[in-house]
A and B are shown apart, each in its own frame.
Chain A
Amino acid sequence: DAGVIQSPRHEVTEMGQEVTLRCKPISGHNSLFWYRQTMMRGLELLIYFNNNVPIDDSGMPEDRFSAKMPNASFSTLKIQPSEPRDSAVYFCATDFMGGGTDTQYFGPGTRLTVL
């Protein structure tokens, strides 16, 4: 298996622009998590899905952030409009609930820089 796939790996954009981050989970995994990592705040959970349904979005910082999972093999995290304070590394992680593994597997991350 190719593991969790994220794209793009790097994104540089200007303040006010829309940014879309993408994630393809490991095949067969039914839960997907979006995290943000910064030096100041460490690793923060933004939102997670189970069977394509958002379960907990309490970590989403504000309405500028939205996430979707239209099917079991694809998810997006969108920021509109982007701001410099959104600069961070965004990770997607997936696991299989109920399978006994209970382990999240992380993608390589997307490094976002908002100028």
Chain B
Amino acid sequence: AQSVAQPEDQVNVAEGNPLTVKCTYSVSGNPYLFWYVQYPNRGLQFLLKYITGDNLVKGSYGFEAEFNKSQTSFHLKKPSALVSDSALYFCAVRDKNYGQNFVFGPGTRLSVLP
């Protein structure tokens, strides 16, 4: 069975500092990995995904994520945080061999302090 863990409920970072939102996953086969962001009273917005190839994936709004197969992790990063990055972030996994079902993590609330 697939599962996703986001070990931190909340991440606080000062504006201009680098940020990391952690994600680890478990799948039986090869994973597709995703990050989504949710702003208040909005739906989830796609940020980036890892399907295959380069382990470092670049996405929207300056975010990037690194796929680490040995650590089964897919941490989201940004070199310099903005106050407008404050939102709820979801990691999701899909097993390539298990059809289309996405499994989402519980979410991490990111607060960027001015």
Q: How many A-B residue pairs have CB under 8 A?
A: 46
Q: Give how many A residues have a beta carbon under 8 Å from the other chain's beta carbons.
A: 22
A103 in contact with B100 (CB, 8 Å): no
B49 near A102 (CB under 8 angstroms)? Answer: yes
Interface string of A46-69 (1 = CB under 8 A from B): 001010000110000000000000
Instruction: Determine the distance from Cα of A105 to Cα of B43 in the docked complex, in whole angstroms.
Output: 9
On chain B, the number of residues with a Cβ less than 8 Å from chain A's Cβ atoms is: 20
Closest to A101 in B: B49
The reply to whether A102 and B32 form a contact with Cβ atoms under 8 Å apart is yes
Those of A92-115 within 8 Å (CB) of chain B: 93, 95, 97, 102-109
A104 touching B43 by the CB < 8 A rule? Answer: no
CB-CB nearest in chain B for A104 = B102
Within 8 A of A (CB), among B7-35: 32, 34
Hey, which bits of chain B sit against chain A, CB under 8 A?
32, 34, 36, 42-46, 49, 51, 90, 94, 99-104, 106-107
